Structures are given as structure tokens and as C-alpha cells.
Amino acid sequence: MTPAEITRQGGTFAVVGGVATLVHVALALAAREGLGLSPLSANLAGYCAAVGVSYLGNARLTFRRPTRNRAQFGRFLAVSLAALALNQTLVYLLVEKAGWPFWLALGPVVVIVPALSFVLSKLWAFRSSR
């Protein structure tokens, strides 16, 4: 893989991730403020909505892979669930244990989780079968 292709993937992953993150944060905040959900429930709602955006965008645009591939989707789901566990753990620790406001706790979440997700997605979830 050329440096240009890695750069393209990184940039595209960032854009797709940015869109998925906006969906996540907007829905999480709306669920928290509008529906009165707990921080963890609101975060889960936002995260679930972002998963669909992330899978489709990254399969098609970032890694240029088909979207209808069971093995790939299974790997993506494993990465997504690991990211969700990390996501929820960070929110729990920062809000419940450290006393941060929910909106502030989302900051580290939207930096740390996507960075780890890119590495796992590139090296495993969307790997080429070639």
C-alpha cells in the first residue's frame, strides 16, 4: 500500500468518523436533554446510530470494500462492540466517577475511540482477502 493510499484512507476515515461522531453526539445530547435518559443510555443511543453511518461509509469510501460481506461485517461488529465497551467505560468513569459534565466527557470519547477503531478497522475488520 502506497503512502498516498494510506493518507487517503486516513483522511476518508476522519471524514466518515466526523459524520458518525456528529450523529453520535447530536443524538446522545438530544436523548439526554430531550428524553431525560441517563448519560449511559443517551450515549448508547447515540453510539448505535453512529454505527450504521460508520460501517457503510468506511466500507464504501474508506476501505473500498463491499458492504454485503458477512465475515467483514462480523469483524466490524467485533471492533464496534469493543469500541462501544471502551466508549461506555470512558463515559462511566468520567461522568460517574470523576464528576465531569456529560457534554465534556464526550470530548475524550470522540478522540480516543475513533483512533483505536481506525487501527483495528484497517488491520482487521476491512482487510482485503487478497
User: pLDDT tens string for the chain (130 positions)?
Assistant: 899 998 999 899 999 989 998 999 999 999 999 999 999 999 999 988 888 899 999 999 999 999 999 999 999 989 989 988 999 999 999 999 999 999 999 999 988 988 898 889 999 999 986 6
Q: What is the DSSP string of the chain?
A: --HHHHHHHHHHHHHHHHHHHHHHHHHHHHHHHHH---HHHHHHHHHHHHHHHHHHHIIIIIS---S--HHHHHHHHHHHHHHHHHHHHHHIIIIIIT---HHHHHHHHHHHHHHHHHHHIIIIIT----
**Domains of the chain by residue range:** 3-125
